[in-house]
Amino acid sequence: MDKRIFLCLTVYFAIAFYTHAQKELRVSNLSVNLLKNTGHVFLNGYPSITPLNEATYRKEAYQFAKISSQKPFFGWIIESEKNNVRQKAYRIIVSTNKDSLLQKSRGDMWDSGIVESTQSINVPYGGANLSPKELYFWQVTVWDDDGNESSPSEIGMFMTNETLEEYSTDRHPTQKKDEKAVKTNNLSPNHYLLDFARDAFGRLRANLFSENGTDTLTVHLGEALENGKINRYPGGTIRYSKYRFVPQKGWNTYIVDIRPDQRNTTPPQALLMPDYIGEVTPFRYCEIENYRHKLSDGDIVRETAFYPFNETDSYFHSSDSVLNQVWELCKYSVKATSFAGLYVDGDRERIPYEADALINQLSHYCTAREYNIARATYEYLIKHPTWPTEWILQTPIMAWFDYLYTGNQASFSHHYDDLKAKTLIAIADENGFISTQTGKVTPEVLQSIHFGGTLKDIVDWPQSGILGLEKHEAGETDGFVFTDINTVVNAFHYRALTIMQAFAEQLDKKTDAELFKSQAQKLKKSFNRYLFDKKRGVYVDGIGTDHASLHANMFALAFGLVPPKNAGSVLKFIESRKMACSVYGAQFLMDALYDGGDENYGLQLLSSTDERSWYNMIRQGSTISMEAWDNKYKPNQDWNHAWGAVPANAIPRKLMGIEPYCPGFEKISIKPQPGSLKYAEMKHPTIRGDVFVKFENEQGRSFQLEIQIPANTSAIVFLPFYGKKQNVEMNGNPVTYKRDGKFAIIDNIGSGKWIFTVKK
């Protein structure tokens, strides 16, 4: 062969191989301080086509995320068609000049050089000091274990804030979206009813014609129907409002701007809507009366407000149609109730509460790749706590989930002393129990948790004898008997102690770690000695009562206080109480059931059509999860409360079994517990990429599991154990496993696509 031809072919194949390798290894989804899309620009809440580098000097009132940290951290997702892909090294370039990245791959602020590391999230900035109000560009290239080099990522952009802090949590602005009605009915001449299909927070924009400019129009907005019209007296805090105005002559566009409600728009507690969004109200339906012109498609628009939410980040589908509807209800609830930019209690008060925020946080993680609104909310609640004792104790739990899902230590490290105080360890007695009734809640304790009121145990809400309920009714606490030493509060205290032990160990605070560990051990011993009724095999509500409630038992099980020998009797009791808790309590009920291995009963509750079920919310006509199971269980309830959206996280975390095994999903736990469910599939977003899980299940006979794990991660997979003679295969080949109870465990599964089969 001619040497020149041979040389050309060699170069050709080398280039082809290199190009193919680059195509296999890609970098996407750049993030700064956990925020995706820091280059996105909004104009009065609407996504703008103007790039960030132009929006910074134009006169329009643009909105965009601003990075407030002196040393932000970077992240990216690695994509590859191959299995078992691990990052070996990365190179980050940061510049004030986009052209220097495009043309010369150089940065005037920072060039990390090639850093040998598997770290693809939470990579700290290591360059020259950033300046306030400055635009920066950045790019990353990665290498895998085989030495393959990716193409440089897309160029990311971020703008720094007016002031830079050592630590900050940044967020996107609230977004708007125009939505048209899906159905328009003529109720009578000149009287229209419009249905937008789902409830949402927003306001109305109307393109209307008036021939003479003298006719008065009436616009009704509401969440519920009665006899084919918007319910004018829906009860509780279900919303209805009416507006009257005289259109000008000819064609004009009108904004039906929402009247402020004094209860949810009055500082200091209520969160206010930003000026560029304006006041909003939740509504699904619109009626227009006395409009003498034909109403055309698109004449009426709902300007819907929400925190940016990508609905394609997740999906779920199963063989159970009720379960599918429940998932869609609860997933949408996360998006719809994010309108305030922090998690709030629906529309009644628009105040962040710890209990709402915990459920909202978990549900948001499972439905969209977004972490900052959850972090910002729990950090807000550190300095603005609410009154229930248990909800003070939920703050460390929220900090734990923040760390577990992001792998980022910055928040709990910065707020460590506050989180330590929120365990209420300062009021523990010689047995490890805490109580607000024994004189230990001093002004100094209250000051340490930033609270100026009176702490009171809540257990669940509403309680017996309040909010219009009769004294003989049990409320949502299952008749819980309050004593000085209460079981539920101390279960929360135990969980907070174990979390703070883990935080202290991560920060190498050895003295604190030992303190939390010893206090947790002491409390667990006392808890089972004084609160467990051995004869009945259940936990009582507190010291001094023999009453046993659902709550005393489900919280003990959910937070790891039940010894294995007692789990069976506790689960049996929990089943006997059915859904004797509120939609909030259902979070811990579902965790207790699935963590206790009672997957059949868990599925039964998730897909129930009883009155106390998520499906009943749909049946009642709500399209956002409700504050209570039914209107009759809470006289002032609303139809837009994310603390009722528990299945949005229970289905992904427990039924499908997708959870971080190590912080930041460095290792992923895949532990489906399908019960009798025959088929299900899910796409679950994580900070490292999408996880796909699909199963086909013949309960007790065969099980097939298909998974796809993102690059730069690994997984531990839990399959059913039917018996010693079962056959287990991975991608068609026999595979060894380790048995743990009813599970067959296969560990250290690399990234990529895998199919597991189990046959009895």
Ordered structural domains, the chain, with CATH: 3-165 (2.60.40.10), 175-306 (2.60.120.260), 311-655 (1.50.10.10), 665-759 (2.60.420.10)
| H-helix segments, 531-659 | 550-558, 564-577, 585-595, 599-606, 614-620, 647-650
Q: What are residue 115's DSSP bridge partners?
A: 90
Measured CA to CA, the distance from residue 344 to residue 334 in angstroms comes to 11
C-alpha pair distances (Å), 483 with each of 435, 542, 552: 9, 6, 12
Sign of CA dihedral 347, 353, 355, 360: positive
State how far the Cα of 164 lies from the Cα of 173, in Å rounded to an integer: 18
The two beta strands, 667-670 and 702-720, are: parallel
* pLDDT of res. 465: 60
Predicted pLDDT of residue 23: 53
Cα separation, 79 vs 524, in Å, equals 44
Strand pairing partners for 303? 178, 203
pLDDT at residue 36, as a whole number: 96
Provide the pLDDT for residue 630: 93
Note the pLDDT of residue 492: 98
E strand map for 485-537: 532-533
pTM of the model: 0.95
Number of DSSP helices (H) and strands (E) in the chain, helices first: 18, 35
- Cα 505 to its chain centre, rounded Å, is 26
Predicted pLDDT of residue 472: 54
Q: What pLDDT was estimated at residue 473?
A: 56
Written as six digits, the tokens of 140 are 């990353």
pLDDT reported for residue 10: 43
Which residues are CB-contacts of 634 (< 8 A; sequence separation ≥ 6)? 236, 462, 467, 627, 628
Per-residue confidence (pLDDT) for residue 468, from 0 to 100: 44
Sign of the torsion angle spanned by Cα atoms 307, 311, 317, 322: positive
pLDDT at 14: 40
How confident is the model at residue 8, as a pLDDT?
Answer: 43
Convert the pLDDT of each residue in 503-521 to its tens digit. Answer: 999 999 999 999 999 999 9
Gap between the terminal Cα atoms of the chain = 60
DSSP H or E stretch at residue 375: helix 372-383
Provide the pLDDT for residue 21: 45
Q: Which of 596, 571, 581 is nearest to 643 (CA)?
A: 581
Tokens of 641: 């409360």
| Low-confidence spans in the chain with pLDDT less than 70 | 1-23, 465-474
Instruction: For 192-246, write each residue's pLDDT tens digit.
Output: 999 999 999 999 999 999 999 999 999 999 999 999 999 999 999 999 999 999 9
pLDDT at 102: 77
Nearest to 174 by CA among 43, 349, 2, 292: 43
Tens-digit pLDDT profile for residues 712-750: 999 999 999 999 999 999 999 999 999 999 999 999 999
φ and ψ of 350, to 5 deg? 55, 45
Cα separation, 242 vs 260, whole angstroms: 13
Q: Which helix (H) or strand (E) holds 732?
A: none
Within 10 angstroms of residue 256's Cβ, the number of other Cβ atoms is: 19
Q: CB count, 10 Å around CB of 336?
A: 25
Written as six digits, the tokens of 428 are 């523990």
